[in-house]
Amino acid sequence: MQRIAAGLLALAFAGPAVAADITVSAASSLHSALREAAAAYEAAHPGSRVRLSFGASDALVAQVARGAPVDVLASADREAMDKAQPYVAPGTRRDFASNRLVVAVPASSSLPWRTLADLGQPGVQRLTTGNPASVPAGRYAQAALQKAGLWPALAPRFVFAANVRQALDYVARGEVEAGLVFQTDVASQADKVRAVLAVPTAAPITYPLAVMKDAPNASGARAFAAFLLAPSGQAILARHGFGKP
């Protein structure tokens, strides 16, 4: 009886703690913004804890498909969220932010940058972006360069990254002459990289979020999603360079 009573007491304390955790899987480009948003949410909801996991959007969707216990998924493009649609709780998908694609170069770069065609200048040996097969930034980059007629010539120069923050690191370390990344990523390493060109994209760069159908903490997931969509959450995203959805 004592063991049973002790077990019930442990469950009484453990239950609320687990329920208060909100697990969020988010695109790498959201790293800085969502860390601040999570801290603000926790401050406004004592006892709650937001657990963040970042990666390439498609990789996060694959984790959800394999049964990862995710409450909220936030991707860097609609295509990734479309793949996650079978796992999304009905009525919870919302666009919550927007971004822009830019050409980023090491801060010390002395190459001339006037148009996208300058990505093919002789001084550019290596380029980077996210892998188009799994990273939204890479998909946007490939589509933009195809539309400009530059992709066939430039494709062999690309060193693809597993996510957009890794691509930014390649630029920051000077391992490539230029990278196509999100504008918000450049701000995270403003002392090492700079944006030299805006890259026009055929479709707006839109970030959707959704509560997962099998979310372990559905009520917490809905509350955190609502926080990101509310003025306070949008203000945090704006401070990190994201636009409104």
Verify that 78 and 63 share a domain, yes or no.
yes
pLDDT of residue 5: 38
Give the domain extent around 172.
101-199
Domain-embedded: residue 235: yes
What tokens appear for 32 in the block? 């800085």
Q: Are 76 and 29 spatial neighbours (Cβ–Cβ below 8 Å)?
A: yes
Per-residue exposure over 118-143, b if at least 16 CB sit within 10 Å of its own CB, e if not:
bbeeeebeebbbbbbebbbbbbbbbb
Q: Based on the structure, what is the number of domains in the chain? A: 2
- Spatial distance between the Cα atoms of 95 and 25, rounded to a whole number of angstroms: 15
pLDDT tens for the chain, residues 1 to 245: 434 333 333 333 333 334 479 999 999 999 999 999 999 999 999 999 999 999 999 999 999 999 999 999 999 999 999 999 999 999 999 999 999 999 999 999 999 999 999 999 999 999 999 999 999 999 999 999 999 999 999 999 999 999 999 999 999 999 999 999 999 999 999 999 999 999 999 889 999 999 999 999 999 999 999 999 999 999 999 999 999 98
Domain-embedded: residue 113: yes
Verify that 212 and 93 share a domain, yes or no.
yes
CATH code where residue 150 lies: 3.40.190.10
Domain-embedded: residue 145: yes
Verify that 189 and 230 share a domain, yes or no.
no
Verify that 11 and 92 share a domain, yes or no.
yes
- Spatial distance between the Cα atoms of 112 and 200, rounded to a whole number of angstroms: 19
Verify that 29 and 78 share a domain, yes or no.
yes
Verify that 165 and 45 share a domain, yes or no.
no
Domain-embedded: residue 244: no
Angle (nearest 5°) at CA 103 between 229 and 153:
125
Verify that 64 and 43 share a domain, yes or no.
yes
- In 3D, which of 74, 55, 102, 86 has the Cα closest to residue 210? 74
Domain-embedded: residue 47: yes
Domain-embedded: residue 245: no
Domain-embedded: residue 162: yes
Q: What is the pTM of this model?
A: 0.87
Verify that 28 and 94 share a domain, yes or no.
yes
